[in-house]
Amino acid sequence: MSNKEKKWFSLNLKNEKKSGGCGCGKTTGSCDSNTKELKRKDGVDQVFDLKMDRRSAFKKLTASLLIGAGAVSTSCSVFSDEKSKEKAQIDWEEQFKGNYKLMTDEEKSATVDRLVRSYQLRTGKTINMSSKNAEKDVLFGYAFNISKCQGYMDCVNACVEENNQDRKSQMQYIRIHEMKDGKGFNFNDADDNYYHEVPAEGHFYMGTQCFHCDNPPCVEVCPVQATWREEDGLVVVDYDWCVGCRYCMAACPYDGRRFNWSKPEIPENEINKNQHYLGNRLRKKGVMEKCTFCVQRSRNGKNPACVEACPTGSRIFGNLLDPNSTIRWVLENKKVFRLKEDLGTEPKFWYFMD
């Protein structure tokens, strides 16, 4: 914010500086802090990493605990088969794993393997879960054409199906606000829960969802760093690390977050089996979730489900750092604006009109 010459593409400046430098003060040559950074730990040893000896001691402790747990489960379950033992082992390791944000790539794929195996053991079906990291020189952004949106809500349905949201409570990441013509952007008089034929006479439509702020207040307030901003600008949640205090929900000015008040229910045949750890994998009760710009799709070069589903083409998604992307064209050629800019949250979600 202090940078007066800041343009939309400089959103990432702060971040790039952080990743480029190392904070040790040296501008040339190498320093230790970067190499130290590389060594990341999993589980409880993430924080017991003060010294190597302490860390390895803890590793041993964890290993012995695991063996102990295995022994307990073996001795306690005379009649149980190999499968339930494996299930118990997986549950144990999942319960005491670390924060995904701080995991190494191996640890990330290990937890993903455990989750896939666990699902297989439980349901006999195989899912495909990814732990793909953010790619370099990618910063995702989104633009919404208010003139085009007709309020069909296809985006909402596609989102629910793609992201395995709870059907029982009808959780929806996207809200479409039906506004009256001639009243401006008056959210107070808008209806975000309409059930009638669209487009309704004398109305226009505006969609909101998580704006993936570059300066996200929800990330700051989380007491356990269960939510964070990824390198490609996505604000994500580690569902297994979230303690469910809902402080982030109170901090979000855009109504972008949803909570699992009870156990999410999705009919087995409707589950999207193409999943990402940070995205649409199945959630449990008592954790926060939100739009991830369909991380399981966007990191594979596809558009989010809402963009693909929109019949009017009012949704535009792309890489803000790619000068040839559509989103860049929109930002350069349209009069764009963002919601509640005065709060300093720097959303990466722009609105425009034809």
222 binds other proteins (CB under 8 A): yes
According to CB under 8 A, which residues from 77 to 136 bind other proteins?
Answer: 95, 98-99, 101-102
| Contact of 224 with 215, CB cutoff 8 Å | no
Q: Which residue blocks in the chain are alpha helix, DSSP H?
A: 13-20, 32-38, 52-76, 82-95, 105-123, 154-162, 217-221, 247-251, 295-298, 305-309, 326-333
Nearer to other proteins among residue 16 and residue 192 (C-beta): 192
Nearer to other proteins among residue 162 and residue 178 (C-beta): 178
| Contact of 340 with 180, CB cutoff 8 Å | no
Distance CA 182, CA 203 (A): 9
Nearer to other proteins among residue 9 and residue 259 (C-beta): 259
Q: How far is the CB of 272 from other proteins (least distance, A)?
A: 22
Sort strands 349-352 and 140-145 into parallel, antiparallel or unpaired. parallel
Q: Which positions from 36 to 55 touch other proteins by CB under 8 A, shown as an x/- string?
A: --------x-xxx-------
Question: What is 309-343 written as a DSSP string?
Answer: H-SS--EEEEETT-TTSHHHHHHHHS--B-TTGGG
Nearer to other proteins among residue 208 and residue 298 (C-beta): 208
Q: How far is the CB of 198 from other proteins (least distance, A)?
A: 19
Contacting range for other proteins; rule: CB under 8 A; set: 70-78, 116-124, 137-145, 248-256: 248-256
Q: How far is the CB of 179 from other proteins (least distance, A)?
A: 11
Compute how many residues bind other proteins; rule: CB under 8 A: 57
Give exposure, 137-158, as e/b (b: 16+ Cβ within 10 Å).
Answer: ebbbbbbbbbebbbbbbbbbeb
187 binds other proteins (CB under 8 A): yes
Token duo for residue 163 = 């992201």
Q: Which positions from 283 to 302 touch other proteins by CB under 8 A, shown as an x/- string?
A: -xxxxx--------------
Q: How far is the CB of 89 from other proteins (least distance, A)?
A: 18
Contacts of 205 (CB under 8 A, 6+ apart): 146, 149, 150, 151, 176, 177, 178, 179, 198, 199
Contacting range for other proteins; rule: CB under 8 A; set: 17-25, 282-290, 295-303, 320-328: 282-290
- Tell which one of 259, 274, 308, 338 touches other proteins (CB under 8 A): 259
Count of CB atoms within 10 A of residue 181's CB? Answer: 9
**Rule CB under 8 A: which residues touch other proteins?**
44, 46-48, 95, 98-99, 101-102, 169, 171, 175, 177, 187-190, 192, 208, 217, 220-226, 240-247, 249-255, 257-263, 284-288, 343-345
